[in-house]
Structure 1
Amino acid sequence: MEQKDTYKTIIGPSKETLFKDKNSKFYGYAFPVRNEDDVKLKIEKLKKQHHAARHWCYAYQLGAEKTKYRANDDGEPNNSAGMPIYGQIQSFNITNTLIVVVRYFGGVKLGVGGLINAYRTAAHMALENSQILEKTIDISFSLQFDYKNMSRIMRIIKDNDANIDSQKLQIDCLLQISIRKSNALKLYETINKFHEVKISYL
């Protein structure tokens, strides 16, 4: 079985979308996020922007291989908001993504079925307005070697389609490189054959 080494995410915040039902307004937003601190900041910003709203319901998923998610109903009936939003993250098969739906109550109750539909639709609209990109899961290494080996190492890096993420060239050379997961072992073994290069996983 081939190892999965790609994942999908959104590459920038979505445009604001609006879904209306019985005078209630549901504003949908999707954001790329890397961690829970990102999530907190985005929600705090929206709470300031929509300080008069009644609910700020959201769901997010983080991680490329081991994923973790959270869904929050923010005072709406259980599972009527957060899980329908999370369902859209699953149906678009994306990760490292936060969706927030901000609700302004219009005076008429929608019932649980109506809420599920509204939150799901607003989340779907936010993702429809996002650019989704497939990315590779990368493995990073650090390499330490003498200058005399520079051209050999550069040739291997190029031949294996690896990326140089940072380099420090002082008395010796220190590189941080990354490569698609499915090619990582081959690259590691190729470089590891050199006794004059110290390679380690980051």
Structure 2
Amino acid sequence: MEKKKILYRGGEGEISEKKSRFIATVRPVSCPEEAQEFIEEMKKKYWDASHNCFAYSIGENPPTERCSDDGEPQGTAGKPILDVIRGEGLHDAAVVVTRYFGGTLLGTGGLVRAYSKAAQEGISACEVIEKQSGKAVTLKAEYTDIGKVQYLIGQRKLAVLESEYADSVILKVLAPADEWESFRDEITEGTAARTVFMEEKDVIFAWADGEPLIFGL
């Protein structure tokens, strides 16, 4: 699969424009029903707001997308929020921008800029991770070779998922799919083909909080 940006952890951002408050709340969602529940939750939380405008994009090829101006002039809120989601290359994300009117009209251009800026502010407060294809590889190395193996793993900054030290050393290593063959060749050459590759499994993974997050291992 191609690398794919998704929200790992939502967030919130806020801006002010001519005394109007724009509060952007961003959350990862996996289906339209979940997105709608999130939107309703925000409407209840900010029940006294002037507007709760939203947009979401779920899946790909093509994505399921929806947006709403929630009473603002047509095309000034929901579409700009959706354009920010698209521009960030995000999938499976929903954004609600809540407005508390400050008494001064912003005009259509001002509204577009305000809702766009608020959405950007909300997304910048989130943690975005990148899903990609990988290989979970179990290998068996001799003790005389483990220093070389660990050096090559560290040089590529690969993750060791499991380790077992017995008569030999068994490691389960996570490698990006596009690095797997060159990594295998390096290990084979560096240990004179003494390292045995016992199992290979295709996985989808991402880095989150400095640790590998595996999907479907």
Aligned partner of residue 119 in structure 1, secondary structure: helix
Quote how far apart the aligned CAs of 1:120 are. 0.2
Pair 1:89-2:130 in alignment: no
Quote how far apart the aligned CAs of 1:136 are. 3.6
8 Å contact 2:81–2:115 — kept in the other structure?
Answer: yes
- Provide closer, same or farther for how the CA distance between residues 88 and 21 of structure 1 changes in structure 2, counting only shifts above 3 A: same
Equivalent position amino acid for 1:55 in 2: H
5 Å-filtered alignment, 1:178-197, equals 178=216
Moved more, 129-138 or 32-41: 129-138
Deviations 1:123-158 (A, max 9, x none): 0001111111111479xxxxxxxxxxxxxxxxx994
2:110 aligned partner: 114
Equivalent position amino acid for 1:134 in 2: E
Among candidates 109, 134, 141, match of residue 130 of structure 2? 134
Quote how far apart the aligned CAs of 1:7 are. 1.3
- Provide closer, same or farther for how the CA distance between residues 21 and 162 of structure 1 changes in structure 2, counting only shifts above 3 A: closer
- Provide closer, same or farther for how the CA distance between residues 137 and 71 of structure 1 changes in structure 2, counting only shifts above 3 A: farther
Q: Percent identity?
A: 32
Aligned partner of residue 41 in structure 2, secondary structure: helix
2:2 aligned partner: 5
8 Å contact 1:59–1:72 — kept in the other structure?
Answer: yes
Quote how far apart the aligned CAs of 1:51 are. 1.0
With normalisation by structure 2, the TM-score equals: 0.61
Structure 2: 5+ residue stretches without partners:
135-196, 205-214
Deviations 1:55-92 (A, max 9, x none): 11011101044312111111111110011111111111
- Provide closer, same or farther for how the CA distance between residues 75 and 35 of structure 1 changes in structure 2, counting only shifts above 3 A: same
Aligned partner of residue 83 in structure 1, secondary structure: helix
Structure 1 segments of 4+ aligned residues over 3 angstroms from their partners: none
8 Å contact 2:133–2:203 — kept in the other structure?
Answer: no
Aligned partner of residue 27 in structure 1, secondary structure: strand
Structure 1: 5+ residue stretches without partners:
139-155, 164-176, 180-202
Partner Cα distance (1:120, 1:33) in 2: 20
Quote how far apart the aligned CAs of 1:5 are. 3.3
Pair 1:29-2:70 in alignment: no
1:79 aligned partner: 75
With normalisation by structure 1, the TM-score equals: 0.66
Pair 1:125-2:118 in alignment: no
Quote how far apart the aligned CAs of 1:160 are. 2.5
Pair 1:44-2:40 in alignment: yes
Equivalent position amino acid for 2:200 in 1: D
